[in-house]
Amino acid sequence: MTTMRDRLIFAAQLAFTLLVAAFLIVPAVLSMTAGVTVNYFRGIESGVTLQWVIEVWQLYSDTIFRSFLIAIATLGVTLIAGVPAAYALHLRNDRLSRTIEEIITLPLAIPGLAIALALLLTYGGFGDFRRSWLFILVGHVIFTLPFMVRSVLAVFGASDIKTLDEGAASLGALPWRRFRDVIVPNARPGILAGSLMVVTLSLGEFNLTWMLHTPLTKTLPVGLADSYASMRLEVASAYTLVFFVMIVPLLVAMQIFAERGGGPLGLRR
């Protein structure tokens, strides 16, 4: 009797979970097939084609390159600003450092739209800066910095970095050398996890970017929104397909990393 009931419970839960998975996956599959279908309304029988992908490349390849440029630059800046700061935060570990951590984490809690508006109101008047991709870079850095800092901090917290640092100091190593030769190598898992996160988030960032972009500084997600509003479904789908192809390897890398215990931050965004 109990086993019968157990089996029923299992089947009901499985059916429910399959339904949830279908809700998530079916539209993604529809989008991927639509991107390579000659005519979406007539279905896949109308033939398979790469013409939409080629059209996307002709129309939007600049947004793809710009998104990569911004993502790499964001990574560079968050590494330079984030890794030393995480080290300093870990060493100090007092009220001031906790306040600083609190402040740099704020951009996670505040909607991107508000941050973008704040940036526009403050720096919108600086024409050259406002018109360049650097304006978007600034937004992405503020938004992704907490992920880098926390990811590195998590590794420091799990390893005995203070003892290592003091050991190196007692051997006469100067602060800069200790940072380069002891701290950074030990923080590597956190730096790697943080980097994957930063690049993934930057490539997909829309809320800030939509407000900060100009017609000449469109990024991939901005172009996507553009194509959803004004292009035929096949082109929009092909563009989305290009985005999937870019983002999925990063996601897989993050997942593998999280499974190997790459920091508590993991994918919890």
| Binders of other proteins in range 108-167 (CB under 8 A) | 108-115, 117-119, 121-123, 138, 141-143, 145-146, 149-150
- Produce one character per residue of 11-32: b if its CB has 16 or more CB atoms within 10 Å, e if not: eeeeeeeeeeeeeeeeeeeebb
Calculate ∠ Cα 58-218-70, nearest 5°. Answer: 105
Rule CB under 8 A: say whether 269 interacts with other proteins: yes
Sole window of 49-57, 65-73, 184-192, 246-254 interacting with other proteins (rule: CB under 8 A): 246-254
Tokens standing for 213? 């972009």
8 A C-beta contact, residue 89 and residue 100: yes
Residue 222, phi then psi, degrees to nearest 5: -65, -45
Which helix (H) or strand (E) covers residue 217, if one does? none
| In the complex, least distance from residue 188 CB atom to other proteins, rounded to whole angstroms | 18
The neighbour count for residue 115, using CB atoms within 10 Å, is 19
Nearer CB in complex with other proteins: 41/171:
41
Encoded one letter per residue, x for contact with other proteins by CB under 8 A and - for no contact, window 201-240 reads x--xxxx--x----------x--xx--xx---x--xx--x
Instruction: Assess contact for 105 and 146: CB atoms under 8 A.
Output: yes
Among 92, 98, 131, 188, the residue binding other proteins under the rule CB under 8 A is 92
- Between CA 92 and CA 165 the distance in angstroms is 13
Within 24-63, the residues that bind other proteins by CB under 8 A are 24-28, 30-31, 34, 40-41
Question: How many residues at the interface with other proteins, by CB under 8 A?
Answer: 92
Q: How far is the CB of 153 from other proteins (least distance, A)?
A: 10
Among 20, 127, 170, 230, binds other proteins (CB under 8 A): 20
Among 44, 54, 80, 245, binds other proteins (CB under 8 A): 80
| Cβ at position 200, least distance to other proteins in Å | 6
- Tokens encoding 232: 């035929």
